[in-house]
């Protein structure tokens, strides 16, 4: 008897379907797309997401030149101004892009454009979530892209959204997303703008004046307990209800306008953060999951950087302790758990965030968040979460290949069928070993043909320059 298991008795493991994003820059793939697509398909890639649709200019500055000329008729049909045509045409790059996308489609890959609204023309003067002309300008650009690249199946919109961070100066600060331009939209939705501003101020003030005993008494008490911690302020509940109504209305209007504007049926997906964050920043995943062909919550777990789960948790703890010197990290974490509706017993200090992920992070938290995503949609194939790992995901701390394997495995076991990897540019060898093993024919170092580029992500290049 040998020490090897009988392969006939080994349970069949369900493979995940992988989507791969490339862009920022485009040139790295479109200049040699054949071998790259070969390698991706062997590794289990079923769809590609390309974009933003911008080339480097003739001086080499990345993401400067639009990949096509706008069609004024598309914009005129929505009574908005077309963006200016690029002064550089770059015909060879345009031809390479079209050839790459045509080849991808001929191979049976689905093809989507990331941020097809990028490069839109001028909108109106109102708030971008309520101004009809601003929405029309975005949708016109989406329609223009779909016409310019008829081989694509649709696009992925990354936002807009409302804030979810409390750290001063953060780009998604929740206390900086209620400008005066929302006064009339609030009234249109039957909300009192001044009362909402007062409630937001009271919420921020309370976050500066938390006491350990209050947290111990109320933070573990579920929705009503955390509501008591914030003084059971009915206007605070109205503030969160307004955020949901505003963002839900925007996505509803956008979905309707895209359906009535595009010249052919296209599939548009919309992104969000993890379900535990969405009530805070206004998303209603159930509505989005039924209005759009697919949704893309972010399975981002890295620390620091931006958009990572540990990073947001860490910034909340840091900010709350700075505002309230009497609090320990553990007390701040209890507030975080109460606000987000999560239980993370392995995190009681900021040090714990730097110690990595214990088994229950995958077995419990990842599985729960995945099930919540799936509960938002009519069918599992309408969830395509973003996945990013590697050395500097979104300029954050590394996610090892082992952790990537564990959290994708936990998501698969919870019912996930597919995911979108972001992005080919900084895909490392160890990640590709894991991804190909989960999705297709396993790749190992030294295998002839495709090899991951292992560059820095766009966010790191941009920050360092």
Q: Is the pLDDT of residue 2 over 70?
A: no
What is the pTM (predicted TM-score) of this model? 0.94
Query: pLDDT tens digits for 83-102?
Result: 999 999 999 999 999 999 99
Average confidence (pLDDT) over 250-268: 97
Question: What gap in Å lies between CA 23 and CA 53, rounded to an integer?
Answer: 8
Average confidence (pLDDT) over 40-54: 97
**pLDDT category of residue 279 using cuts at 50, 70 and 90:** very high
Query: pLDDT tens digits for 172-217?
Result: 999 999 999 999 999 999 999 999 999 999 999 999 999 999 999 9
Q: Where are the domains of the chain?
A: 15-174+243-464
Residues 6+ apart with CB under 8 A from 287: 248, 251, 252
Query: pLDDT tens digits for 323-375?
Result: 999 999 999 999 999 999 999 999 999 999 999 999 999 999 999 999 999 99
Residues 6+ apart with CB under 8 A from 451: 39, 429
**pLDDT category of residue 10 using cuts at 50, 70 and 90:** very low
pLDDT the model gives residue 8: 42
Q: Is the pLDDT of residue 5 over 50?
A: no
Residues 6+ apart with CB under 8 A from 160: 128, 129, 247, 250
Q: Is the pLDDT of residue 7 over 50?
A: no
Contact 421, 435 (CB under 8 A): yes
CATH superfamily of 15-174+243-464: Glycosidases (3.20.20.80)
pLDDT the model gives residue 95: 98
Specify which residues 295 forms β-bridges with.
Answer: 270, 383
Fill in the DSSP letter of residue 179. -
Lowest mean pLDDT, pick from 54-63, 282-291, 349-358, 437-446 = 54-63
**What whole-number percentage of the chain has pLDDT above 90?**
91
pLDDT the model gives residue 458: 72
Question: What gap in Å lies between CA 430 and CA 400, rounded to an integer?
Answer: 8
Q: Is the pLDDT of residue 294 over 70?
A: yes
pLDDT the model gives residue 12: 61
Average confidence (pLDDT) over 221-244: 96
Q: Tell me the pLDDT of the chain averaged across its residues.
A: 94
State which H helix or E strand residue 54 sits in. strand 54-55
pLDDT the model gives residue 1: 35
């Amino acid at each position: 008897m040998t020490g090897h298991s009988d392969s006939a008795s080994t349970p069949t493991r369900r493979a995940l379907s992988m989507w791969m994003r490339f862009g920022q820059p485009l040139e790295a793939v479109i200049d040699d797309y054949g071998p790259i697509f070969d390698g991706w398909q062997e590794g289990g890639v079923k769809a590609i997401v390309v974009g933003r649709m911008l080339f480097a200019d003739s001086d080499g500055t990345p993401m400067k030149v639009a990949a096509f000329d706008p069609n004024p008729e598309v914009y005129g049909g929505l009574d908005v101004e077309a963006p200016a045509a690029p002064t550089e045409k770059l015909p060879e790059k345009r031809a390479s892009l079209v050839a790459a996308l045509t080849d991808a489609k001929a191979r049976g890959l689905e093809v989507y454009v990331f941020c097809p609204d990028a490069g839109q023309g001028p909108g109106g003067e109102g708030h971008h979530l309520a101004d009809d002309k601003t929405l029309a300008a975005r949708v016109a650009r989406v329609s223009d892209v779909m016409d310019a690249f008829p081989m694509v199946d649709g696009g992925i919109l990354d936002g807009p959204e409302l804030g979810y961070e409390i750290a001063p100066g953060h780009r998604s600060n929740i206390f900086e997303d209620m400008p005066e331009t929302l006064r009339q939209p609030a009234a249109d939705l039957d909300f009192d703008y001044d009362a909402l501003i007062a409630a937001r101020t009271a919420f921020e003030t309370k976050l500066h004046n938390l006491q350990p005993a209050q947290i111990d008494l109320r933070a573990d008490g579920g929705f009503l307990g955390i509501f008591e911690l914030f003084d059971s302020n009915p206007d605070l509940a109205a503030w969160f209800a307004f955020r949901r109504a505003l963002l839900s209305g925007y996505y509803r209007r956008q979905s309707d306008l895209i359906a009535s504007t595009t010249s052919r049926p296209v599939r548009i997906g919309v992104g969000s953060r993890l379900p535990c964050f969405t009530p805070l920043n206004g998303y209603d995943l159930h509505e989005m999951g039924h209005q759009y062909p697919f949704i893309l919550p972010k399975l981002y777990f890295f620390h620091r950087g931006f958009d990572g789960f540990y990073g947001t948790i860490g910034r909340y703890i840091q900010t709350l302790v700075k505002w309230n010197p009497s609090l320990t990290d553990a007390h701040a974490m209890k507030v975080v758990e109460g606000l987000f509706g999560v239980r993370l017993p392995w995190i009681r200090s900021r040090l714990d965030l730097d110690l990595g992920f214990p088994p229950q992070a995958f077995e419990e938290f990842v599985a729960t968040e995945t099930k919540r995503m799936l509960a938002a949609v009519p069918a599992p194939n309408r969830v395509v979460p973003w996945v990013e790992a590697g050395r500097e995901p979104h300029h954050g701390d590394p996610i090892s290949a082992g952790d990537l394997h564990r959290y994708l495995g936990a998501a698969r076991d919870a019912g996930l069928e597919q995911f979108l990897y972001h992005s080919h540019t900084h895909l490392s060898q160890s990640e590709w070993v894991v991804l190909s093993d989960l999705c297709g024919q396993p790749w190992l170092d030294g295998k002839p043909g495709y090899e991951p580029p292992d560059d820095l992500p766009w966010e790191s290049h941009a920050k360092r320059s």
